[in-house]
Amino acid sequence: MAAKSRAPFPAMHYLRRTVQMGIVVAAAVTGYRFASGLSLTSVEKYCPMGGMATSGSLATQQRFSCATGEFNFALMVALLVLAILARKSFCSWLCPVGTLSELLGSVVGRLKGRTRQVKSGTSLALVVPPRQLDRWLRLLRYPVLFVILYATFRSGELLFRPFCPYYVMFSFHGHNVELWSYALLSIFALGVLIIPLLWCRYLCPLGGALWPFSRVSLLRVRRHAEACTDCGLCDRACGQSIPVATAADVTSGECTLCLECTQVCPAPGALSLAVPASNRRWPRVAVPAVVALLVVGGLWGGSIYAIPSFSQEFANADSAVELRSVRLQVQGVKCVDTAKLAATVFEGMGGIVSFVAYASRNEVVIDFDASQTTVEAIVKTMNGPVYIKSSGEFIFHIYQVLQIDGKPVAKKLVTN
């Protein structure tokens, strides 16, 4: 029998939407600024999946793959900790792909809700696959994850870019994005109108990787049977099709702690936030608080260490008598390949001892023999033409030094 009492004002829903939309806007602004040459920071810098993809080369070669760097890896570690504490809350509070999938699906969900009473399933999209099929389809995420990790490790490149909805949407036609990438994105968009959170449920490699951590997570939604009226509204609200109305504790590894079930529940005290082996009801704001803490921790973690993307020693190393070092911020040094190419401009130049690139920070550190060369000569060489061995041509304006030891020397950026 349906409960008569009214659901409270959905404060947590609006808080979550505000956070989600803030992230979407931040990703769009970051992507646009990078694509327009206004900034060196790409949307890839903050993607935890990049951290996962680069783990192989970090473990075996102690360097990052392609354009990944310290932030990707630190945010990935923070994400795993977050999953252990607050399930897959990343998916429902932070991930822009999850946000847009939810918004698209909810349009259809609302139309559906207006035309007929939906007794089970979800308020997002049209069709909820049967539970058993849903479970099998979720396994598709693991081959996707394996292929990405293996391909990135073998090639050193982020081959997943043209397939990734996040990158295709927010890179503003970034590197490797092809016309078919948009076609694929459109298919995913159509898919989330039909099946709730299609990408997140069945294809997202990050969602698959988080599942084991989320399965043993601390925070969970708890149903108090004595207060529950069996109205089933929580089941309908759950975008992951978790049967909340018949659960005691929601321990599913798919729960994203979106808290929508707690929002729609009209029975006071029937659903709460809890931890195992304790009767204490935790305030729901604990979820966004843990999310915020881990985001700040991840960003801080990414800023306190540095691991090179590429390094090269030059033959002058043994002869260095007056060793000096200069740190340059260089537009154009943005991945392992562009760092390798940048190092070639110093081949044959007297006095260069070593070249170390931190691609995700667009930085290079050059050790040089001050008795043979100067910072000015190094900067001039870096800004100069680059000889491409494979084509036998010189290419101009590939690199531009923007800062020398943290001091700006060029203001206007050219398009990346």
Measured CA to CA, the distance from residue 205 to residue 182 in angstroms comes to 19
Task: Decide: 413 and 328 in contact? Cβ < 8 Å.
Answer: no
User: Does 255 contact ligand SF4 by CB under 6 A?
Assistant: yes
Q: Do residues 234 and 265 lie in contact, with contact meaning Cβ atoms separated by under 8 Å?
A: yes
- CA angle in degrees (0–180, nearest 5) for 17-20-24: 130
Residue 200 binds ligand SF4 (CB under 6 A): no
- 238 three-class SS: coil
Q: What is the DSSP letter of 24?
A: H
Report if residue 265 touches ligand SF4, rule: CB under 6 A. yes
Give the binding range for ligand SF4 (CB under 6 A) out of 95-103, 175-183, 237-245, 328-336: 237-245
Instruction: Please say which residue, 246 or 371, places its beta carbon nearer to ligand SF4.
Output: 246
> In this chain, which of 41, 229, 312, 325 binds ligand SF4, going by CB under 6 A?
229
For residue 240, state whether it binds ligand SF4 (rule: CB under 6 A): yes
State the nearest-atom distance from the C-beta of 227 to ligand SF4, in Å: 7
Minimum CB separation from ligand SF4 for residue 36, in Å?
Answer: 37
From CA 296, how far away is CA 305, in angstroms rounded? Answer: 15
Which residues lie below 8 Å from residue 17, measured CB to CB, with a gap of 6+? none
Instruction: State the CB neighbour count (10 A cutoff) for residue 147.
Output: 14
Binding mask 267-296 for ligand SF4 (x = CB under 6 A): x--xx-------------------------
Residue nearer to ligand SF4 on the CB measure, 223 or 334: 223
Q: Find the shortest distance in angstroms from Cβ 156 to ligand SF4.
A: 36
258 binds ligand SF4 (CB under 6 A): yes
Cα gap 230→72, rounded to integer Å: 43
Q: What does R_g of the chain's alpha carbons equal in angstroms?
A: 25
Any contact of residue 231 with ligand SF4 (CB under 6 A)?
yes
Q: With contacts defined by CB under 6 A, name the span among 60-68, 179-187, 223-231, 370-378 that binds ligand SF4.
A: 223-231
State the nearest-atom distance from the C-beta of 112 to ligand SF4, in Å. Answer: 17
Residue 250 lies near ligand SF4 (rule: CB under 6 A): yes
Among residues 408, 410, 386, which one has the least CA distance to residue 399?
386
Q: Is 109 in the site for ligand SF4 (CB under 6 A)?
A: no
With CB under 6 A as the rule, give the number of residues binding ligand SF4. Answer: 28
Least distance from ligand SF4 to the Cβ atom of residue 255, Å: 3
Q: Structure tokens of 340?
A: 């390798």
Q: How many other C-beta atoms can be found within 10 angstroms of the C-beta atom of residue 32?
A: 15
Least distance to ligand SF4 from the beta carbon of 247, Å? 8
Mention every residue, 6+ apart, whose C-beta is less than 8 A from residue 155: none
What tokens were used for 355? Answer: 């070249």
- Which of 74, 185, 261, 291 binds ligand SF4 (CB under 6 A)? It is 261
Of the residues 85, 259, 295, 339, which one makes contact with ligand SF4 according to CB under 6 A: 259
For ligand SF4, the closer of residues 242 and 386 by Cβ is 242
Q: How far apart, in Å, are the Cα atoms of 211 and each of 49, 89, 91, 257?
A: 14, 11, 11, 13
Minimum Å distance from CB 267 to ligand SF4?
4
Distance CA 242, CA 356 (A): 49
**Which residue do the tokens 């305030």 mark?**
283
Positions in the binding site for ligand SF4 (CB under 6 A): 3, 221, 223, 228-234, 237-238, 240, 242, 244-245, 250, 255-261, 265, 267, 270-271
